[in-house]
Structures are given as structure tokens and as C-alpha cells.
């Protein structure tokens, strides 16, 4: 391996380590919760850091704010707005990266400390890969490609197993969740028109709790967690390989 390639590799290693630190920073800066309402202010939804609803609350005068039979749609709209607020708040806290200075490689060639100083952020803490045993590179690359394909199919074309529904004991309200959002909310319009706001909110809360429990038990939820853990493991292996230039001698 010639000196020029070694220098480029060292720069790439530094860049990758900083990028990993920024990814960790993104995960750490994610808001714990956010709130949103529908356009008429009939429903307020609070979501957790994963985008799943924690609370659904109908206003005392929701019946005047919603069109006939529109409570379920108001819940979906409020949940969507809460999710958007979560993402907006999160994006405002994104740490700056080496790609900010210019298109393409940006400041990639600069030393990590200089890049961090230029952006006014501390040098990110590197991931500890001392005890990671990286497999042969061809196997690692194959697993990375498979993992990316699985992630894309999971996000872009979710199947029915990716959803979980729950209802109140009387089945007057049904809430359907995906691993990252509220998909739908069906409310018995004739019942809601006669029920008190206390009864409506109780049914909404019971249906939501039932849906969250069902989602936690679903294979889709377990699959999402498994893919995330697998991605972390593959990243550690890649970092371990990059920090050992001798692994690349035969390339």
C-alpha cells in the first residue's frame, strides 16, 4: 500500500470517526416528545421521541370544531402535526458536519480537531471498537448490502404485520399504529355525538394504550429493533476494519 493511499485512508478514517460521532449526536439530540393539534384545534396529540402517540385529548368543544364524524380524522391530523413538530425540533438541533463548508468532500482533508474548532463543536467521542472482531471484508460488505436492502423494504413497503390496532372495551374507538406513527383512528360517530368529552377522551386513551401494547408485541416492532441492532454491529465492524489498514493490503 503506497504512502498516498495510506494518507487518504487515514483522512477517511478520521472523517468516518467524526461522522459516527455526529450520528451519535443526532441520536442524543432527538426530542423526547412533541405536541400537535388539528387545524380546528379539536384534538391535541402528544408523541414520544419515536413519533408514537402518548396522549390523545379532545377539546371540550370538539363537536363544534369538527365536521360531522370528523373526530377520527382530527386525531390523525393532530398526530401528523405532532410528528412534524418532532422532526422540525430535532432538525434544528442537528450538529454541524464537515460537509457544511463546501460541496463534495468539504473539509474532509482537514484534521478532525481543526474541523470541529471551525464549527464551534467539540471533537466527537469515537466509538470503542477495541473488542470488535471484524470478519473478512467481502462478508462484511455483503451483510451491509443485505441490511440496507432489508431496511429499505421495511420503510418503503411495510406490510400488514407492520401495523397494530387497539380498541376501547366497547369497540367505539379503534387506533392503528405503525412502529413510527399513528396510521388511523376510527370513532363511532353516533356514539361520540352523544358522549361526554370525558367519555370520549377515556375511550381514546384506552384504544391508544391497547394499540401500543399490541405494537410492542408485534413481530414488526421486534424486526425494527433487530435491524437497528444489526446496523450498529455492522458499523462497529466497518470501523474496526478501517482502523486496521493491514486489512486492505490485499485489495
Q: What is the pTM of this model?
A: 0.60
pLDDT score, position 159: 46
Rounded Cα gap, residues 105 and 94, in angstroms: 19
Tracing cell 461522522 back to the chain, one arrives at: 19
pLDDT score, position 211: 97
Judge whether 176 and 207 are in contact, CB under 8 Å.
no
Rounded Cα gap, residues 46 and 80, in angstroms: 10
Per-residue pLDDT of the chain (251 residues; tens, 9 = 90+): 567 766 766 676 666 666 666 666 555 567 788 999 999 999 999 999 888 999 999 999 999 998 767 999 999 999 999 999 988 887 776 555 554 544 444 444 444 444 444 444 444 455 555 555 556 656 656 666 666 555 554 444 444 457 899 999 999 999 999 988 999 999 999 999 999 999 999 999 999 999 999 998 886 556 656 666 666 666 666 666 666 655 555 44
Rounded Cα gap, residues 201 and 101, in angstroms: 50
| Neighbour tally for 175: CB within 10 Å | 32
pLDDT score, position 103: 45
Helices then strands, counting H and E runs in the chain, come out as: 8, 6
pLDDT score, position 188: 96
pLDDT score, position 67: 77
Amino acid at each position: 500500500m503506497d504512502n498516498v493511499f495510506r494518507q487518504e485512508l487515514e483522512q477517511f478514517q478520521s472523517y468516518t470517526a467524526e461522522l459516527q460521532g455526529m450520528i451519535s449526536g443526532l441520536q442524543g439530540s432527538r426530542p423526547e416528545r412533541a405536541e400537535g393539534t388539528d387545524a380546528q384545534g379539536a384534538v391535541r396529540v402528544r408523541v414520544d421521541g419515536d413519533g408514537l402517540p402518548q396522549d390523545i385529548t379532545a377539546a371540550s368543544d370538539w363537536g363544534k370544531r369538527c365536521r360531522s364524524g370528523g373526530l377520527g380524522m382530527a386525531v390523525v391530523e393532530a398526530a401528523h402535526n405532532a410528528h412534524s413538530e418532532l422532526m422540525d425540533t430535532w432538525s434544528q438541533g442537528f450538529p454541524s458536519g464537515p460537509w457544511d463548508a463546501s460541496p463534495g468532500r468539504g473539509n474532509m482533508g482537514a484534521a478532525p480537531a481543526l474541523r470541529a474548532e471551525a464549527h464551534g463543536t467539540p471533537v466527537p467521542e469515537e466509538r470503542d471498537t477495541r473488542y470488535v472482531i471484524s470478519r473478512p471484508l467481502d462478508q462484511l460488505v455483503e451483510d451491509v448490502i443485505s441490511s440496507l436492502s432489508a431496511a429499505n423494504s421495511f420503510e418503503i413497503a411495510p406490510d400488514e404485520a407492520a401495523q397494530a390496532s387497539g380498541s376501547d372495551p366497547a369497540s367505539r374507538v379503534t387506533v392503528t399504529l405503525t412502529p413510527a406513527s399513528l396510521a388511523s383512528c376510527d370513532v363511532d360517530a353516533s356514539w361520540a355525538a352523544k358522549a361526554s368529552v370525558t367519555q370520549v377522551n377515556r375511550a381514546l386513551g384506552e384504544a391508544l394504550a391497547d394499540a401500543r401494547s399490541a405494537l410492542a408485541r408485534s413481530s414488526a416492532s421486534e424486526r425494527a429493533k433487530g435491524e437497528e441492532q444489526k446496523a450498529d454491529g455492522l458499523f462497529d465492524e466497518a470501523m474496526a476494519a478501517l482502523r486496521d489498514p493491514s486489512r486492505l493490503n490485499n485489495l
